[in-house]
Chains A and B, each alone.
Chain A
Amino acid sequence: MTNDLNLRRERGNNDGGGSLQTRANTLVKAADHATPLELSSITIRYGGGKGGADAVSVVEGFDLTLHAGEMHCVAGRSGSGKTSILTVGAGLTLPTSGRVLWEGESLESMGDDEIADRRRALIGYVDQGGALIDGMSALENVLLPAVPDGEVDQRRDMAKDLLDLVGLGRRMRHRPAQLSGGERQRVAIARALILGTRVLVVDEPTASLDRASANRIISILKDTTSDGIAVLVASHDHELVRLSDTLTELI
């Protein structure tokens, strides 16, 4: 059965490992909305068939307001609905009920194409494990989001900068199979930032990484918030939970 108890605690801003003074600061757009992402009374149920008798309710009445420059962590045990909340927030799946607001606009009123266009401009999504495309170099992976707008060439330098930013400047010609788990995760973060998104949605970025690699990832995420980017992260990494500004713990 579902756990519908949401704990929310406020933290003061914490610069963590300190802000990264890189070119990335000039790449991301200034936040033009104080609350780029808002989830209201989100309920997510799976399955159920006819009549919904066997439906599994993963999330019930979940609320979240994500402010610019804020890192919010959704914690909880496996199967508690962390990834579901992230995919709903990123507009990749629709909730069973409730509203998803991007910069104040509800997704309900948008078509698939509009959601895709808005997501490209607003949200960078980092899947668990990075979900890099095999057969393409790290640089090409980072440039993939620029394909729909035909800005691959224009953003090539920016992609290289971002890979530099995440410490992979010398690995940009390597393929995913030639990268470690932490490196793949960092490529994925760079890829999520390539279009100057204002919200970074990250799913279990430190899972199955060693402490050093995990800290590197956490540091990068924390740095992005200092550039005004809101970060929604699902994790049960204590360090990440500790450094996040706000926390929702799913039970």
Chain B
Amino acid sequence: MNAVQRFIRSKVLLLTAAILIVAMCLSVLVQNQSQAALNRTVDENSRGLYDILVQAKAGSGGALMQPEIANGQGGISFDQLQGIRDLSGTSVAAPISLVSRVTQNLEAPRLEAMDYLGFNAGLVGTATAGQPGGTDPSKWPAAQSVLSETPKKYRLTASATSSDGASEKTLFKSTAEGSLGKARLVEEQVDGGKSIRIAGPEGETGIKFPEPAGGSEHNLFNLSVALPMAPEVTESVVAVDPVSERALLGTSGDFLAPLEKAPPADARSAEAIGRHFESLFTNGIGMEELEEGPDFLGVKLKYWAPLMTQYQQAKRSGELTGDSQAIPLIVRSGTSTDLKYSVKIEEIDDSGNVVKEIGTADRSLDKDYLPFVSKSPFALSWPGSTDYSELLGNSANFSRGLYSPATWSTNFASAPKYTDGSTAGNGATDKTATPGDWVTVNRLPEKTAGGEPVDQTQRNPVDERSYRENLETGKKLATPLAMVYGTFDPAAVQEAAGDVNRLPLGGYDPTPMTLTKDAEGKDVPDAALKPSLSATGLVSQSAGAITDYYGLAAARGYEKNASVIDAVRVRASAAGSWKQAQPEVERLANEIRDMGLEATVVAGSSREDANIFVPGYSKDDAGKESALGTVRQSWVRQDAADAVTGSLTATNLTLLFLTLCGAALLTGASTVSYIRQRRREAGTLRAMGWTQRRIRSWVLEEFAVGAGLLAVAGVVLSLLSWNLATVIVSASVLVLYLAAAFVAAQMLRHREKVDQEPQHDERLIAVDSPLTFANRQLSTNRFNAISLAVAVGVFGAAVGGLVALLIDIPRAAGASALSGLAAASVALPSIVLGLSGVAVGLVLTLVTGRFELQAKRQYLGTLQAMGWNPDMLGQVRFFENALVGAVAVPLGVLGALGVGLLLAPYAALWAAVAGLVAVLCWIPIATKVVQ
């Protein structure tokens, strides 16, 4: 019988070798799949909209980059921008700058109560003449009003509130009382005929809030009560190069197309443009053209009305000069600033007691709000009222727009200053936002639209934390004129930037902040923070408008080739994944650095949540500062792709190595244990005159067959996977197997003293129970019991190590969004790998246990014959395995702890627990097998 036949005959050797080979194949296969999935995930998500961020000086530094890149500090000149564009490796170089902060006064809010008096031939004849959109007089509704014929006394309480998402602040609250009633038509005899006017009923006092708010007034269709003025609304404006910005954003940047058609700098005279639009009205303009907007150099200026009204107002007040330029703007649609205006209406008696709650009317700045355009976002309606003003025809485009021009300022809201805190195991860094100075917000405009000074005492000022830095050039610029070319949706831009490796584009895609813990550090339900009324708060909203660099020049003024560019986002022309493009991108970054600029390679980055503690966020009336708590914001983790790939690849390989080494060690234990069963055979051979050396060779030949099979499997796997790790792992398994074989063969040595066992020692524990019986049996077969215990301990340690690695995958991957994605892509294969490792280990321990199975069954049969009942026999089986388990527990737990500390210190404790659980689980399983 040759060695191959003997190998096949000894089914245990065949079985263990087969298990090992299958484990090797499966493990390598799964690991390859896992690695491929990891590489694919990283490759697909490793490059964002741009590869290199160029700034004049280093940003926050470190591997975690804060998202604010448009800060108004400038530092990059246009010559340098051109230099970047001229580099051969540059595909797109898109500059961005914070232009200005713009403060606007919204039109005074008003409360309108329906006060329609019905058909009047005179009104119809004049008001609807020449208005094709007007309603035919025959279809006018019947006269009606929400007010009574006899005036009633009302109390109006107007208030404005603003919330930052965590708490709400009342900006002001003002009350006015007076009587209101249904209007009446008063026919008066005037020179040349009769005149009709609308007047309040007899005895109506009207309602008047403090100056500058006007009093109540009966109009054609409504009673209008002028309310206290709304607070200032501040927006920021950023400048981009529309052509390169569109190239950066792709189709998502199409909203910038109108800006490309804006006239050059020398054709932007505000006066000339204003006169051009005035001439349109002088010469006559069609209704359809008014609806769509008149054409201006190829762009339909839908929002021409605000331009006109602001032009006329600025001209009237003398602000507009010959140097004033129009600034083309793409304005944000909607707002995330939480500003709510409300009016509570109560009917009261002469003593001031409330007779009836009429209701509360309120409105917020919302998605319909457009900076530089929305004139009256706080036109409130009396409860139960209907607006009949459209009866005169659609006048929407005529009335839409702000009356007063915006105030442009270079007092920028600077980003908070961050300091690093503790670093978590996955690399996430806690931060603290250092607050700046206090400023007072809720200011009223200094003058009304009519130029009268405003009584500032009508409001209580509100303190807000500000982060300001005065960057004024000192040059007093001519007042610019906002010229709205179109709108953009910040949410759509954010979506285009992607979720995983979202890179900051600039001021028009701010990174949201979420409050996660309160000031005491307790978890709170996630609350998205909103920009409050102050533009200088922690949270900023998307820029109110985007202009081009001519617009920036008009707003701030700069000499030729001034260094006004805050950042340039550069996309390299190298195609492919980050791994493929890395050399080209690095080379390009170095070339940019050679120009004296700071070039940060952001390809291969990913967004990562930073936890930021914000102290001193609010101040109470006594001036005591309070912390906001901890907020979460996405920053940019540089080199995330490399870190994720490197870390997870290492984890993957360790998992593979651990699985196979565990299997190999168990095979060794199993082999050694098996060899003891062949001592009888060795004795027979020895009796036949074989030498010890010949006997050892006889056995080793059988192992050589198994080793040969393992080697073949290793070579095939290495060739298939073409991976150095596979070669190393296969070689390691082979070495372990051979070592086990040599040890096993060595154990077949002649034992002269085999039957010279000492007589029974009375000091041994008496056998009087299943437990003591099991103990005695294990003592008798000490070698096999210890072998089995070691095997089970190795099994426990391996399980612990696998569990530690599996738990550690998210930490090893890091805290970035790419990490989560990558960890998810390798999670399943890793779990499969881990489970297969556990299964192989379990099978091998059971195989080891089976070597004693025949002997165990024999003595269990003897006990049964002696009248031991099934329950006691079960106890014997259980206690035997429990005692082996008791020896294996420290091995398993300490082994798992050690492996855990070595591979994944953060999960070492879990590894120890897993090792313990694995050994404890083995006990009932092995008990069942013996049964």
Residues B858 and A131 in contact, CB atoms below 8 Å apart:
yes
B857-873 CB contacts (< 8 Å) to partner A: 858-859, 861-872
Residues on the A chain within 8 Å of B779, using CB = 135
B697 at the interface (CB under 8 A from A): no
Residue in chain A with minimal CB distance to B760: A137
Tell me the complex Cα distance, A119–B864, Å.
Answer: 9
B interface residues with partner A (beta carbon < 8 Å): 755, 757, 759-760, 762, 766-770, 773, 776-777, 779-781, 858-859, 861-872
Add 9 more A-B contacts to A112-B869, A112-B870, A117-B867 (CB < 8 A): A116-B870, A121-B867, A127-B862, A127-B865, A134-B781, A135-B776, A135-B779, A148-B872, A153-B768
Residues on the A chain within 8 Å of B770, using CB = 147
A208 at the interface (CB under 8 A from B): no
A5 at the interface (CB under 8 A from B): no
Q: Determine how close the nearest CB of chain A comes to the CB of B236; give it in whole angstroms.
A: 86
Q: Which 6 A-B pairs have the closest CB atoms?
A: A135-B780, A120-B867, A137-B760, A116-B869, A125-B865, A152-B768
Given contacts A131-B858, A135-B781, A152-B766, contact A125 B866 (CB under 8 A): yes
Of A123, A131, A174, which one neighbours B760 at CB under 8 angstroms?
Answer: A174
A178 at the interface (CB under 8 A from B): yes
A30 at the interface (CB under 8 A from B): no
A77 at the interface (CB under 8 A from B): no
A232 at the interface (CB under 8 A from B): no
Q: Determine how close the nearest CB of chain B comes to the CB of A132; give it in whole angstroms.
A: 8
Chain A CB count within 10 A is highest, among B755, B864, B865, for B865
A101 at the interface (CB under 8 A from B): no
Of B780, B863, B871, which one neighbours A144 at CB under 8 angstroms?
Answer: B863
Chain A CB count within 10 A is highest, among B757, B760, B781, B861, for B760
Residues on the B chain within 8 Å of A132, using CB = 862
Residues B767 and A178 in contact, CB atoms below 8 Å apart:
no
Given contacts A147-B768, A174-B760, contact A135 B777 (CB under 8 A): yes
A177 at the interface (CB under 8 A from B): yes
Residues on the A chain within 8 Å of B755, using CB = 177-178
Residues A133 and B869 in contact, CB atoms below 8 Å apart:
no
A56 at the interface (CB under 8 A from B): no
Residues B760 and A173 in contact, CB atoms below 8 Å apart:
yes
Residue in chain B with minimal CB distance to A124: B866
Q: Range of interface residues on chain A?
A: 35 or more
Tell me the complex Cα distance, A137–B773, Å.
Answer: 12
Q: Determine how close the nearest CB of chain A comes to the CB of B249; give it in whole angstroms.
A: 74
Residues B866 and A136 in contact, CB atoms below 8 Å apart:
no
Residues on the A chain within 8 Å of B781, using CB = 134-135
Q: Determine how close the nearest CB of chain A comes to the CB of B732; give it in whole angstroms.
A: 38
Residue in chain B with minimal CB distance to A171: B759
Residues A119 and B777 in contact, CB atoms below 8 Å apart:
no
Q: Determine how close the nearest CB of chain B comes to the CB of A102; give it in whole angstroms.
A: 12
Query: Can you name 18 A-B pairs with beta carbons within 8 Å?
Result: A92-B864, A120-B866, A121-B867, A127-B865, A131-B861, A133-B777, A133-B862, A136-B760, A140-B767, A140-B776, A143-B767, A145-B866, A147-B773, A148-B872, A153-B768, A173-B759, A174-B759, A191-B866
Q: Determine how close the nearest CB of chain A comes to the CB of B388; give it in whole angstroms.
A: 94
Tell me the complex Cα distance, A152–B858, Å.
Answer: 22
Residues A147 and B769 in contact, CB atoms below 8 Å apart:
yes
A170-193 CB contacts (< 8 Å) to partner B: 173-175, 177-178, 191-192
Q: Determine how close the nearest CB of chain A comes to the CB of B751; give it in whole angstroms.
A: 13
A interface residues with partner B (beta carbon < 8 Å): 90, 92, 112-113, 116-117, 119-121, 123, 125, 127, 131-137, 139-140, 143-145, 147-148, 150, 152-153, 173-175, 177-178, 191-192, 195
Tell me the complex Cα distance, A174–B756, Å.
Answer: 12
Q: Determine how close the nearest CB of chain B comes to the CB of A167; give it in whole angstroms.
A: 18
Residues B859 and A133 in contact, CB atoms below 8 Å apart:
yes
Residues A144 and B760 in contact, CB atoms below 8 Å apart:
no
Residues B757 and A178 in contact, CB atoms below 8 Å apart:
yes
Residues B757 and A145 in contact, CB atoms below 8 Å apart:
no
Tell me the complex Cα distance, A136–B65, Å.
Answer: 74
Residues on the A chain within 8 Å of B767, using CB = 136, 140, 143-144, 147, 152
Tell me the complex Cα distance, A144–B864, Å.
Answer: 11
Residues A144 and B866 in contact, CB atoms below 8 Å apart:
yes
Of B759, B866, B871, which one neighbours A178 at CB under 8 angstroms?
Answer: B759
Tell me the complex Cα distance, A117–B757, Å.
Answer: 35
Residue in chain B with minimal CB distance to A174: B759
Q: Determine how close the nearest CB of chain B comes to the CB of A185; give it in whole angstroms.
A: 14
Residues on the B chain within 8 Å of A148, using CB = 867-869, 872
Residues on the B chain within 8 Å of A174, using CB = 759-760
Residue in chain B with minimal CB distance to A201: B865
Residues on the A chain within 8 Å of B870, using CB = 112-113, 116
Residues on the B chain within 8 Å of A143, using CB = 767
Tell me the complex Cα distance, A226–B817, Å.
Answer: 90
Residues A145 and B867 in contact, CB atoms below 8 Å apart:
yes
Tell me the complex Cα distance, A195–B762, Å.
Answer: 23
Tell me the complex Cα distance, A168–B827, Å.
Answer: 67
Residues A117 and B869 in contact, CB atoms below 8 Å apart:
yes
Residue in chain A with minimal CB distance to B863: A144
Chain B CB count within 10 A is highest, among A131, A133, A145, A192, for A133
Residues B871 and A113 in contact, CB atoms below 8 Å apart:
yes
Q: Determine how close the nearest CB of chain A comes to the CB of B758; give it in whole angstroms.
A: 9
Residue in chain B with minimal CB distance to A87: B865
